[in-house]
Structure 1
């Protein structure tokens, strides 16, 4: 089996802010999952803390300048906090996914999280934030689908787990802790494995 060139793009969640070491990050955890599934993997991480969808273009250029077989894009939290209109952010994400699929990559996207789980959000505003997060993620999902990527629909149970367990957050109470990243990686793993297997079926 040929080497799978796996690239991780996006924001601080993709970069691993809150982790104590590189092996705790999403990219490294998912690389180990892929290797256990029999894939020789080369990992490259282009993600930048604080990135919004408007910042994906240079990350995409870096990925497509190299060989990219599989890409994970984690984006949306900073678009929400900066009040980026859903159609604007989704359009930028769609362009990024189209550029990656255009060079033959399988692309998995983790859309905007439910920011209502963050403890700093005042109680009266939680439902509003939950609704805004869902609206943004929905617009992203439509754009990703049109661009030929796949959405990692992690499910409400992941956000419920974070809401119930403060230990899944790091000291800043915003980014995940290593335990939180492990939980997110487990939720993303089936989607990433499915994409890697699809690529093998396609005969690359």
Structure 2
């Protein structure tokens, strides 16, 4: 059955689509098209801000709540890692954001911190350490999101391996995904997002 979804995208540059040539290549737009293809009417608004950390989520949440929210995608964590935000602090702030969105009746889908050990700027000698730190941060986020009633995207290790092996999945800055990279991420998380919407409709 079709239903109307006020879809809000919050978070950092990955949520905003930095690295894309056109807005239509970003995660929010790609996932909106996936939902529309499944028969839903979708109103998309992107509140994400490049460079945002978990400390910056609260004003984005307020903006989403003012617009009304049925489904929210939150992508956050990369800038927390580069700024050495303690996992407990970032996870608490993310959990608070999810709690507020859920209290307004929205379902919340979160893509946690990426593995920054895959970024080519990281010296090979430090990549294992950076990957471990990224994983620990994502685990703290996952626990906080689930406690707050949100859903966390399960990222297949095979997807990470594809990014590690193919520089074309990164944009020119070698940090953000390219349009091809965003398309791959959207394809990977789309089934779980559709399931989230189906559960809501049910």
The corresponding residue for 2:14 is: 13
The corresponding residue for 1:27 is: 28
TM-score, scaled relative to structure 2: 0.98
Aligned mates of 2:23, 2:84 — CA distance in 1: 30
Unaligned runs of 5+ in 2: none
Q: Deviations over 1:37-60 (max 9, x none)?
A: 111100010000000000000000
Is 1:104 aligned to 2:105, yes or no?
yes
Aligned mates of 1:134, 1:189 — CA distance in 2: 22
Aligned mates of 2:72, 2:191 — CA distance in 1: 14
The corresponding residue for 1:84 is: 85
The corresponding residue for 2:184 is: 183
Quote the offset at 1:177 in angstroms. Answer: 0.4
Quote the offset at 1:198 in angstroms. Answer: 1.1
Q: Deviations over 1:8-48 (max 9, x none)?
A: 00000000000000110000000000001111100010000
Unaligned runs of 5+ in 1: none
Residue correspondences, number:
201
Is 1:146 aligned to 2:151, yes or no?
no
Aligned mates of 1:141, 1:151 — CA distance in 2: 6
SS at match of 2:43: strand
Divergent runs of 4+, >4 A: none
The corresponding residue for 1:59 is: 60
SS at match of 2:189: helix
Q: Deviations over 1:125-173 (max 9, x none)?
A: 0000010000000000000000000000112111111000000000000
8 Å Cα contact 2:116/2:130 also seen in 1? yes
Aligned mates of 1:195, 1:69 — CA distance in 2: 11
The corresponding residue for 1:164 is: 165
Q: What is the RMSD computed on CA atoms of the aligned residues? A: 0.7
Aligned mates of 2:11, 2:32 — CA distance in 1: 17
Aligned mates of 1:172, 1:133 — CA distance in 2: 20
The corresponding residue for 1:114 is: 115
